[in-house]
Structure 1
């Protein structure tokens, strides 16, 4: 494991982003329609290979802020986690999602010591898997429900919107645009 400054865990509840414009990144998830989700997954993950090619990709801008490499590894895992939650919502009636501690994942998978080319490849695969999952959703499936362990309830569409905000926000975090 790489020695890194401890990152204070993000304990904010970001579920409001499915309804309101994010004042930081500017993404308006609530305006995303079902026919836009797949394209936006691709658009919001496409800039990562360029980000991961930066010479300072593993350098944190401040000790307590993830590097672009760490953000990219996180985005890869976001795509995987949301893809699994989507499949669960399509396969089960109102499932409850298992907790995912993103900060623990960053430590356990040693995001900071990841190989940028590997992360780029894995992120592309994860994003494609997420987009393919959403490409299968039709009609009333968009309204299927799932519940986060804290009680937050999502539909397939609002889960997609929530995920898309995460993808957009992390591009903003590293100074990239889609």
Structure 2
């Protein structure tokens, strides 16, 4: 398999305008709807993992649906942890996460779809639970990415949901 070219784009612009690729409008997702959007994505991802061609890359330089699902499972985990951190601490800075290195180290393309489906469901359910439990007065709490990008709990959730929905678009899910 060819190596995937790392995505080095700063996707925070999706908080300001609709995504031209997937059509998602992050600003249109109100804070109370984040948990429901996350929960609704889980069965769609599980359906992707049930495909016969789940391991097949559409091109050598594009992840397979399985690899995308592994990534999304890890995104659910990461954003649940980041939201909890923002709710527990004042102004935390998030550690870097190299998604491409993780894909290689964790051998996403070699994982078992049924196991990934179970793990993805658990991680997605937990992420939805974390966002559902955000108190009304905590949505504006702040966190920072290591590059200085500023998030509130609400914008972190919007950004997170875009990632999950965008990748469903990537795999025709």
Runs of 5+ unmatched residues, structure 2? none
Q: Displacement of 1:43 after TM fit?
A: 1.2
Runs of 5+ unmatched residues, structure 1? none
Distance 1:20 1:30 in 2: 8
Written as runs of structure 1 = structure 2, the 5 A alignment for 1:1-178 is: 4-176=1-173
Determine if contact 1:22/1:28 at 8 Å carries over to the other structure: yes
Distance 2:29 2:48 in 1: 25
Q: Displacement of 1:46 after TM fit?
A: 1.9
* CA RMSD, Structure 1 to Structure 2 (Å): 0.7
Determine if contact 1:99/1:149 at 8 Å carries over to the other structure: yes
Greater than 6 Å deviation, 4+ residue runs: none
> TM-score, normalized by length of structure 2?
0.98
> TM-score, normalized by length of structure 1?
0.95
Distance 1:161 1:140 in 2: 17
Q: Matched residue pairs, number?
A: 173
Q: Displacement of 1:136 after TM fit?
A: 1.1
Q: Displacement of 1:45 after TM fit?
A: 2.4
